[in-house]
Structure 1
Amino acid sequence: MNPFRRIYAFFHKNLLTKTMAIGIILALMGTTCLVRLADIQLVNGKSMAQAAAQSRTTSVTLKARRGKILDTNGAILAQSVERYTIIGNPEQAQAFVPTTCTKQTGDNCHQINGKPVGVTGAAAVARLVAPVLGMDATELGAMLSISGQYVVLKKDVTPAVKRKISKLNLGGIVYAELSNERLYSNGSLMGSLLGGVNSDGKGVAGVEQMENRTLTGQDGYQVYQQGNSGVEIPGTMTESKEAVNGSDVTLTIDRDVQWYAEKVLHDSESKYQAAWGIAMVQDVRSGDILALADSDTVEAGSDQAKMGASRAVSETFEPGSIGKVLAMSGMLQLGLHKIDDKFTVPDTVTADGQSYKDAETHGAEHWTLAGILQQSSNVGMILAGDKMTNEQRYDFIRKFGVGQDTGLNLPGESEGVLYPADSWDARTRNTVLFGQGYTVNVMQLTNAVAVIANKGVRKPQRIIKSITDADGHVEEQKPKSEATRVIDESVASQILNAMESVSDYYSNFVKVDGYRIAAKSGTAEVAGTDGRLSSIISDYSAIIPADDPRFVITVVLKDPQGSFGGLTAGPVTAQIGEFLMQKYEVPASAPRTDAIPVTW
């Protein structure tokens, strides 16, 4: 055979073999693909589709908004506003490749000031996002370079910033979660009293803590599938529950009265060089607290506001001679004396082996019981209380609310201290007659004086006026306890009359033109920082107008220059009283014609 023919036959045979081999391989591959396709579509198609859907399914929390805190007239004191937390996905950020902007891409691309991003990965994401968040790109890049799929980039950004983030075409890499920011529009007004919330939005001090359950809403959720951009795929939502916002809390506090009380406290702190001051205003008729102020300057919602209670709530002190109102009311109620009974009062007395003296030296004065209150005589109170047992003294002090929970439930409130009568020593049994040997807070003291203004009845106090739920339903908040009679109306009237004589005594320093005032001053020696009786509490509690009581005002100053409550706390009380008369347009008082004699 021709050599060339043998060579051709060899190659032809081998080519045919190779072709057949390739054909067989292709046939096997085709068969495998068909089998795999049949398996996917006919056998495992449903389960794989479910797995794919599950991988795209996400659950998103719908944040409930915390309720507002408002004053009695509807002025907003605290509210939550729409804010967002910006979240990054580090794993996706590190795999990010920017899309160059062309006519074909339209707006679905990435650029910085019209120029390409220039880098890839976390650095590229950081360059895009940093200007919008006002952050350093290097710092942001480091945050996105960690392992994991979740990192908080920035909290409490505004809706405007959130919209800018959404336009960066970084869905699934950088996105926003709805949150709320707590705002206090009045700065330090009621700062410690309002308190604040922690990073989780939970009230941790003040009214925010006290009403946390009411103010807190219930979060909702949505379950849906999201695409590669992180956006919801239309029609894939399978489950949802709407968020229910928290209820609004309306206080009895009048923002204007609170503001003025805080202002005059700050002024008096400077004028009298006092260590601190407290002021409270209570509506006689309702028991509502219109102002509960102190001189501390604390921004509402600040760390300081979250760490402690308002001084007006937590501070306790001996009431001093204001306590004479309580003891003298008991003497009249028990029938031990009449308000015009006559006493010869020296400036010193010894009782139960203990010596006592009045604040000022004087001779043997001819005072009635009303005069003893007017002149604030400690010696006179001991003489008048001679037949009053320890148990009777204790019972009447307690009936006025001393040593008891006010029912306000304010965080940090102390009940004060009133020891049982059987634990008193020979000195304490007499000092309680003039407001020493027990302690009160300003709420207790103000409500005790309000008993006299309210014809002998002690009404429960209130600082929460109403609750308004997310649907707008308003529920008036009633005190948990009932009003109780402490003394007869006639006794209250006599004490009120005597207190008006006290006010007349201080009229050169404490007055509101056109209005009669019934008041009592107090000055008590208390322990100072050295542990000795080196500090002074000066206080003054006033009922205005005396002829038709509307308000009780109490002011307490620590270590003021001038010491006596009538000369320091008294003028501050009058300032607040004048403001109240003008604000509430209270009619002027009728002239006084029924003064009980104070001397004989």
Structure 2
Amino acid sequence: MSPSDRRSSAPRPQRAAGPQRGPARSPRSRIADKPLLVNPRARVRVMFLAVLFVFTLFAAQLVRLQAIDAREVAEQARDLRMGTETTIPAKRGAMLDRDGVTLAGSVERRDIVADQTQVPDFKGLDPKPGEQRVGGVDGAAAALAPILKQDEATLKEKLTGERRWIQLSLGQEPSVWRQVQALRIDGIASEQVSRRVYPAGAPLAPVLGWVGSDGEARGGSGGGLELLFNETLTGTPGKSRVERSADNRVIPMGESEVTPAVPGQSLQLSLDNDLSWYAYNAIADRVKATDADSGTVVVMDTKGRLRAVTQFPSFDPTDRNAKGSEFSSLPFQQVFEPGSTAKVMSLGAALDTGAVTPTTGFTVPNRLTRADRSFRDSHDHPTLQLTTAGVLAQSSNIGTLLAAEKVDPATLEKYYRSFGLGQRSGVGFPGESSGLIKPSAKWDAAQRYTVMFGQGMSVTAIQDAGVFQTIANGGVRIPPTLVEGVKNADGSSTPQPLPEGTRVISEQTATDLSVMLESVVGESGTAQQAAIAGIPVAGKTGTAERYDPTVGRYQGYTASFVGFAPADKPELVVAVILQNPKKGYYGGTTAGPVFQQVMSYALQKYGIPPTGVQRTPFPLKVGEKPATDPEKVDPSLIGPGGTSGSGTPTAPRVAVTTSAPTAESSGTQSQGTRTPPSSATGGATAGASGTR
């Protein structure tokens, strides 16, 4: 028996008696009976599978992000970095005068803003010897205060907090922003904006108008030409976006999207900046000297192009809150009874219809009864024998009634309206008045006559000037214009054609009226102070009782003078209106000198020389012979081109005869009562008072 057999057959020792146990199990079977996760190998296997699954998900997501949705994800990330879209303001078009001088324009300005969360990172400026470096909010406020001209404590308060955007200063010039930028203060930035400026100032402020805080004239936030041409002047804003980091800093060399702004178109106006300035100062001085409520001056050429439209009071475009500011454009919006300047229409109608001629004689009594009313002139006088020309030169109300009553009311009204009354000028100026004139069928018995000498109707200064433009233009009325062309951003321009003219009176009638109007500024006329040495002037005074709606009756006067020169070859028309002057109120003595100053300056500025001859005037009195040897002009009075010897525009000497007082200056107005207007038209219904 082998040793192994012996070992297996040998009896084993018996254990002590004790509790009985079950059959013995092998180690393998014991391991198999344990839970699965307790088994280290199984646990490792599960963990491997789980990790593999997670990595599979990551791989799938990576494939989606890098391959399938790569473009979309990249765009989303870029959009997050690009941030919000910033508007690039479009530059508003400018308004230029006839010579290209800027009257209204837009300039670049900077609104300085701050991110309060970044300002504390400011390291401070390099200190001076012996001083300590101060950074953070304190250092930023101290550095900004002298540049922005603000209190340091106020700036410190604005810079402290958690706001990501706050305004520090608005409308600063680019040079100021460059100083701020040089400080390199964390969180300080600027936004480019556009601001409207008006270099022309007060002389043209009411006609140019203004814009609102958003830089546009709309929704009640603008006026004048800014409002009228808002769509033309307004450009198309651009857009801009740049990449920014999580802390809102611009990423250098990052992407950017920019859609450039398209600037608005500019307007080339017919206005003359220098002439407007001169006229403004002349009327301002006269308003103060006569203690008038207001004054206006309108200058246009014979084709209706407005060269100056100014007034006093006006307003300062840089301080619209100043006391005494007048925002209405009085030449377009203020209506008044014209008085004797309307006589040129009444007599023009009589001449044009053939009812009278310039030499038709009239017996002019001291009083004339019509429609149960007693009419008179501005002064008492004996019975006069005047021609039609004399009636106009002497500004006789009674003579005008005798001549114009030969024309029926409907025809008379037709001429008034053909001269431009009762309708807007055609400029389209915001708030422009059409004037006030009733249809002739609604005239009462007295108004049938008062309209002949300019009471019982109302006009604007633009309309009053337009009447004389018609005469100066040979009887053809051309509606006034303010725009000569439109300029594009590329420098090209589109000229604006003149409106079509309308014949109102014949050329012969216009010539006759022109010659007759020369006598108004002559020795026997009412406007010697409007005369210009060496230049024949044709014009008419106006002195009308002024209806004051605040008291509901006539109170004060409207004084005016409207004329053109040179009378025999007209180039320019000037209208001067004074409302309620208290130190003298006749048109010849109050408005006439302003006409003389403004017309003299304009003729010299445009180099309009004297013609060198005078036309033979019509006789003013019945039986009077016309002058056969008219006085020649002395060329030495005015240099070449209408300038003085030095070539500098100066006010020329005025040829005024003072030996014999004129009827206007010497006459005294007799006492009479006025009846308030019978309707809202403001028309006078009583003819007790005369006009000049």
The match for 2:177 is: 162
Deviations along 1:303-340, whole A, 9 cap, x unmatched?
35998322222211111001000011111111211221
The match for 1:106 is: none
Task: For 2:332 and 2:209, locate their aligned partners in 1 and report how far apart those are by CA, in whole Å.
Answer: 12
Instruction: Check if 1:79 corresponds to 2:99.
Output: no
Q: 1:346: how far off?
A: 0.4
Residue type of the alignment partner of 2:277: W
Task: For 2:267 and 2:306, locate their aligned partners in 1 and report how far apart those are by CA, in whole Å.
Answer: 15
Residue type of the alignment partner of 2:479: P
Task: For 2:193 and 2:482, locate their aligned partners in 1 and report how far apart those are by CA, in whole Å.
Answer: 29
Match of 1:546 among 549, 555, 567: 567
Task: For 2:73 and 2:159, locate their aligned partners in 1 and report how far apart those are by CA, in whole Å.
Answer: 32
Residue type of the alignment partner of 2:598: I
Deviations along 1:205-243, whole A, 9 cap, x unmatched?
122222221111111113342235632553523x43221
Task: For 1:484 and 1:382, locate their aligned partners in 2 and report how far apart those are by CA, in whole Å.
Answer: 27
Deviations along 1:272-301, whole A, 9 cap, x unmatched?
2222211111111x3111111111141125
Q: 1:583: how far off?
A: 1.4
Residue type of the alignment partner of 2:188: V
Q: Are 1:367 and 1:599, in contact at CA under 8 Å, matched by a contact in 2?
A: yes
Q: 1:30: how far off?
A: 8.7
Q: 1:56: how far off?
A: 0.7
Q: Are 2:536 and 2:566, in contact at CA under 8 Å, matched by a contact in 1?
A: yes
Q: 1:110: how far off?
A: 2.5
The match for 1:590 is: 612
Match of 1:556 among 570, 577, 588: 577
Q: 1:186: how far off?
A: 3.5
Residue type of the alignment partner of 1:182: R
The match for 1:104 is: none
The match for 1:67 is: 93
Distance 1:35 1:379, change over 3 A: same
The match for 1:324 is: 343
Deviations along 1:143-166, whole A, 9 cap, x unmatched?
455676433332112223333444
Residue type of the alignment partner of 1:576: V
Deviations along 1:418-450, whole A, 9 cap, x unmatched?
111111111111011111111111111101111
Q: Percent identity?
A: 32
Q: 1:410: how far off?
A: 1.7
Deviations along 1:542-568, whole A, 9 cap, x unmatched?
111111111111101122222111111
Instruction: Check if 1:343 corresponds to 2:362.
Output: yes
Q: 1:493: how far off?
A: 0.9
TM-score by length of 2: 0.75
Match of 2:415 among 396, 399, 402: 396
Instruction: Check if 1:41 corresponds to 2:62.
Output: yes
Match of 1:289 among 281, 291, 306: 306
Task: For 2:113 and 2:377, locate their aligned partners in 1 and report how far apart those are by CA, in whole Å.
Answer: 71
Task: For 1:72 and 1:318, locate their aligned partners in 2 and report how far apart those are by CA, in whole Å.
Answer: 32
The match for 1:135 is: 150
What's the secondary structure of 1:266's corresponding residue? helix
Match of 2:591 among 555, 569, 578: 569
The match for 1:185 is: 199
Distance 1:137 1:54, change over 3 A: farther
Instruction: Check if 1:202 corresponds to 2:203.
Output: no
Instruction: Check if 1:378 corresponds to 2:397.
Output: yes
What's the secondary structure of 2:553's corresponding residue? coil
Q: Are 2:520 and 2:528, in contact at CA under 8 Å, matched by a contact in 1?
A: no
Task: For 1:577 and 1:187, locate their aligned partners in 2 and report how far apart those are by CA, in whole Å.
Answer: 22
Task: For 1:232 and 1:494, locate their aligned partners in 2 and report how far apart those are by CA, in whole Å.
Answer: 80
Match of 1:361 among 358, 380, 387: 380
Deviations along 1:128-178, whole A, 9 cap, x unmatched?
65554333344344445567643333211222333344445566x332221
Q: Are 2:349 and 2:415, in contact at CA under 8 Å, matched by a contact in 1?
A: yes
What do you get for the CA RMSD once the two structures are aligned?
Answer: 3.0
Residue type of the alignment partner of 1:426: A
Task: For 2:209 and 2:273, locate their aligned partners in 1 and report how far apart those are by CA, in whole Å.
Answer: 16
Residue type of the alignment partner of 1:410: F
Match of 1:515 among 505, 522, 535: 535
The match for 1:524 is: 544
Task: For 2:380 and 2:114, locate their aligned partners in 1 and report how far apart those are by CA, in whole Å.
Answer: 78
Task: For 1:577 and 1:458, locate their aligned partners in 2 and report how far apart those are by CA, in whole Å.
Answer: 21
Residue type of the alignment partner of 2:86: V
Structure 2: segments with no counterpart, 5+ residues: 1-37, 623-692
The match for 2:78 is: 53
What's the secondary structure of 1:230's corresponding residue? coil
Greater Rg by CA: 2
The match for 1:422 is: 441
Task: For 2:163 and 2:169, locate their aligned partners in 1 and report how far apart those are by CA, in whole Å.
Answer: 17
Residue type of the alignment partner of 2:108: E
Distance 1:187 1:307, change over 3 A: closer
The match for 1:483 is: 501
The match for 2:557 is: 536
Q: Are 2:526 and 2:541, in contact at CA under 8 Å, matched by a contact in 1?
A: no
Deviations along 1:516-571, whole A, 9 cap, x unmatched?
11111111001234332121001011111111111111101122222111111112
Match of 1:460 among 447, 461, 479: 479
Q: Are 1:68 and 1:76, in contact at CA under 8 Å, matched by a contact in 2?
A: yes
Match of 1:88 among 82, 96, 114: 114
The match for 1:14 is: none
Task: For 2:442 and 2:436, locate their aligned partners in 1 and report how far apart those are by CA, in whole Å.
Answer: 13
Distance 1:541 1:226, change over 3 A: same
Of 557-566 and 313-322, deviating more is 557-566
Q: 1:597: how far off?
A: 1.1
Q: Are 2:519 and 2:617, in contact at CA under 8 Å, matched by a contact in 1?
A: yes
Task: For 2:253 and 2:356, locate their aligned partners in 1 and report how far apart those are by CA, in whole Å.
Answer: 86
Task: For 1:339 and 1:118, locate their aligned partners in 2 and report how far apart those are by CA, in whole Å.
Answer: 90
Residue type of the alignment partner of 2:365: P
Instruction: Check if 1:216 corresponds to 2:234.
Output: yes
Task: For 2:617 and 2:279, locate their aligned partners in 1 and report how far apart those are by CA, in whole Å.
Answer: 31
What's the secondary structure of 1:598's corresponding residue? coil
What's the secondary structure of 2:355's corresponding residue? coil
Of 509-518 and 307-316, deviating more is 307-316
The match for 1:105 is: none
Task: For 2:228 and 2:318, locate their aligned partners in 1 and report how far apart those are by CA, in whole Å.
Answer: 14
Residue type of the alignment partner of 2:563: A
What's the secondary structure of 1:392's corresponding residue? helix
Residue type of the alignment partner of 1:473: S
Task: For 1:565 and 1:97, locate their aligned partners in 2 and report how far apart those are by CA, in whole Å.
Answer: 68
TM-score by length of 1: 0.86
Match of 2:489 among 459, 470, 487: 470
